[in-house]
Amino acid sequence: MLAEPANRGLFQYSDPTQFFLGYLKEKQRRKEARHFGKEIAQYLQTSGLFKDRSWASIKVEELTDVQCVGFLWAVYVSLYRHFRQSVAPCAMQCLESEIFFHRRPEALQAIANFFGIELSDAELGGILVNPVFDRHAKQLSRAFDLAEREAEYQRLSEALKDEVAEGLEWISDLLGESGHALPLPGSCL
């Protein structure tokens, strides 16, 4: 789909620390990471994508929760880079989630520009007050509050600092072993 000249795609990503916090914070989220990890590992093995990388044949059941989340992040960003470089070099843009949270007007304008949509200040303002921004993306029945999220992540950063540090080191080792250093994709802002 993205290979078609008129099509565009937006990839929103989290830096690895935020990604770890999001998945390690609850037992259910850790289960979800393991489930997604198994599905992605199976996809990588059957598709042959990234077959030149040591982690393409990883066995998720042998990973710790931290390693499983690290594996997800590495594949997540690798897939984006693959699509951006090989499939649709000009048709994809990315946006780091923290930038979206903290610079929403600029982010929405950049997104509109990328998709060729002209927005007046009034139209942009109307979008920004839309109730969709007041809902939690993963739990739609729950209200979203940025200050509450930041307080939660600050608390999680302290509570999970050892696991996050272990995970960041594991990602670095995993990617270093394969010779495929993976810097963060640049955000459109």
DSSP 103: S
Instruction: Identify whether the C-beta of residue 38 lies closer than 8 Å to the C-beta of residue 60.
Output: yes
- Position 151 confidence tier, pLDDT thresholds 50, 70, 90: very high
Largest CA distance in the chain: 53
Residue 9 has a pLDDT of: 80
Residue carrying the six token digits 């059941």: 61
**Structural domain count of the chain:** 1
Residue 163 has a pLDDT of: 97
Residue 74: closest CA among 177, 160, 187: 177
Residue carrying the six token digits 């939690």: 136
**Which residues form the domain of 55?**
10-177
User: What is the arithmetic mean of pLDDT over 44-52?
Assistant: 83
User: Quick check: is 102 in a domain?
Assistant: yes
Instruction: Dump pLDDT digits (tens) for 67-88.
Output: 999 999 988 888 887 777 777 6
Instruction: Indicate the Cα dihedral angle 102, 17, 173, 72, nearest 10°.
Output: -90
Question: Could you tell me the pTM of the whole model?
Answer: 0.82
User: Quick check: is 22 in a domain?
Assistant: yes
